[in-house]
Amino acid sequence: MTGLAAALAALAAGYGLGRWQPWMRLGDWANWQLRFHLGRWNTTRPRQAVLFVLLLATDPINTVQAWRHRKDPPPPKSPPVRLRDTRAPEETQ
């Protein structure tokens, strides 16, 4: 019975964390700290480490994929748009 209660509590905690999305809130907070508090650069590094650990714990697949592809070159640009002349032939002269 205790094992069942522990499993249900773990499922409820996981569901609650998934709905609350603490990694998004912490990521926004760390981004705000980096952008608008540049004087605190030395204290922001531990915050970034906490963000990475939290991301790795809550969304490991996407975190590792983003880490592996962080320095990939940007995708190639699409060709320019070509516009057709839709006027009647007698109007072009």
User: Using one digit for the tens of pLDDT, what is the confidence trace for 32-41?
Assistant: 765 666 565 5
Phi, psi (5° rounding) for residue 11?
-65, -45
Residues 15-28: tens digit of each pLDDT: 888 888 777 777 67
- Specify which of 14-18, 28-32, 48-52, 80-84 reaches the highest per-range mean pLDDT: 80-84
